[in-house]
Amino acid sequence: MVVFNYFIELFEKSDLIIEFVWFLIAMLLFLVITIIIYLKYLRSTLRRNEKSKNKLEKEFETAIITYLYAGDPDSKEISSDQLLIIEGLKKGTSKSYRKDILIATMLKLGYEISGEMAESIDKLYIQTGLKEYSLSKLKNKKWNLIAEGIRELTLFEVKEVQHLVKEHLNHPKSEVRSEMQLYLVNLFHFKGLDFLNEIKTPISEWDQIQLLEVLQLYKTQEISDISSWLKSSNESVVFFSLKLAKIYNQYGVKEELIALLQHPNVNVRVEAIHIISHLDIIEAKNELKTNFNTLDLEEQIAFFAMIEETYELADKPFILDNILNPNFEIKYSALKILKELSLDEFNSFKDLSLDPQFIKIINFVESN
């Protein structure tokens, strides 16, 4: 008690600043206690949610699988057993978080299977009213919900809402644009790529890879005409069509590809050389060879990769010019080609330099 009184006295006598600090302490203490209570609440809610989510998932999983096997194999119609399941699912998903779980469960399978069963899952999506739910997300103000809605429409192949999805062509958030592009390409394949004519925003590398992967699901070598995209003022569209040219061996766009060798962006030029090499467009070779010394290093390296595939005896003087090239990769490439072109000359040039790097390459090329 004495101690306590001492402190009270002290407090009364103390300066303004110390009073303020004590006030701060009280505040902090209050905050700490509140936040601990919140943590407790948060953890139990999370645990409860997770439990009920797992339970729901299991329920939905069984329901979906039963639904899939309850169909009549000979008819396209929905069987009465299936109708029962649909009604059950509808009742069970009045709340939106339950709808989200059902969608996630259906997708878990949707990613892995195709054919009749996949179609039957798409049908289930429409029958349970989830399509309206996804569509309602498109009208939401939150961009992440719009993106989510588009994604669901994509995965359950709802083709007829194209116009609603396309409204987001130039949405300020890249995530929404990316989902929109995936929708078009997933459902309309090469025709879906028409958005490339209009798009003003850059398409990231990540999105490009996704789009190409989707396209590759459809085993076709017939693709749209890419020549206008190769001339696009949107550089990412150029990069994308270069990738298309490579994957789908587009010999038809030879001239456009050669024209890209003059593109202001060095990365475009390098990529163009790679594709030209991949497609064996010999016409470009002489031009590149003549201008070799004016090219950027990256282009030179890319060109040597091309020469490695297409060398002929006439290239020998050019190769000999480069066996002492200061760049390791070019030097290595030149020596490798020289050995193939003429072993005698390779042997006569192998003591040309005492540079250890040169000797290392010589030894390696000799024994391989």
Site for another protein in 263-322 (CB under 8 A): none
Is residue 24 near another protein by the rule CB under 8 A? yes
* Residue from 167, 194, 205, 355 in contact with another protein (CB under 8 A): 205
Q: Please state, in angstroms and rounded to a whole number, the distance separating the CA atoms of residues 218 and 197.
A: 22
Rounded to 5°, angle at Cα 218 from 212 and 224: 65
Contact segment (CB under 8 A) with another protein among 162-170, 171-179, 269-277, 280-288 equals: 171-179
* Residue from 114, 233, 262, 293 in contact with another protein (CB under 8 A): 114
* Residue from 96, 136, 144, 347 in contact with another protein (CB under 8 A): 144
Q: Which two tokens stand for residue 187?
A: 């459902």
* Residue from 12, 74, 112, 309 in contact with another protein (CB under 8 A): 112
* Residue from 72, 139, 328, 351 in contact with another protein (CB under 8 A): 328
Q: Please state, in angstroms and rounded to a whole number, the distance separating the CA atoms of residues 296 and 314.
A: 24
Nearby residues of 302 by Cβ (< 8 Å), 6 or more positions away: 270, 273, 274, 277
Report, in Å, the least distance between residue 228 CB and another protein.
21
Q: Please state, in angstroms and rounded to a whole number, the distance separating the CA atoms of residues 190 and 224.
A: 6
Report, in Å, the least distance between residue 283 CB and another protein.
26
DSSP code string of 150-214: HHHHHHTT-GGGHHHHHTTTT-SSHHHHHHHHHHHHHHHHHHHTTHHHH--SPPPHHHHHHHHHH
* Residue from 48, 55, 76, 108 in contact with another protein (CB under 8 A): 108
Q: Please state, in angstroms and rounded to a whole number, the distance separating the CA atoms of residues 276 and 152.
A: 39
Is residue 39 near another protein by the rule CB under 8 A? yes
Residue number, 148 or 256, with CB nearest to another protein: 148
φ, ψ of residue 62 to 5 degrees: the values are: -60, -45
Q: Please state, in angstroms and rounded to a whole number, the distance separating the CA atoms of residues 132 and 149.
A: 10
Is residue 111 near another protein by the rule CB under 8 A? yes
Q: Please state, in angstroms and rounded to a whole number, the distance separating the CA atoms of residues 25 and 38.
A: 20
Contact segment (CB under 8 A) with another protein among 107-115, 156-164, 258-266, 338-346 equals: 107-115
Report, in Å, the least distance between residue 290 CB and another protein.
28
Q: Among candidates 214, 237, 236, which has minimal Cα distance to 227?
A: 237
Contact segment (CB under 8 A) with another protein among 190-198, 208-216, 280-288, 316-324 equals: 208-216
Report, in Å, the least distance between residue 314 CB and another protein.
27
Residue number, 243 or 263, with CB nearest to another protein: 243
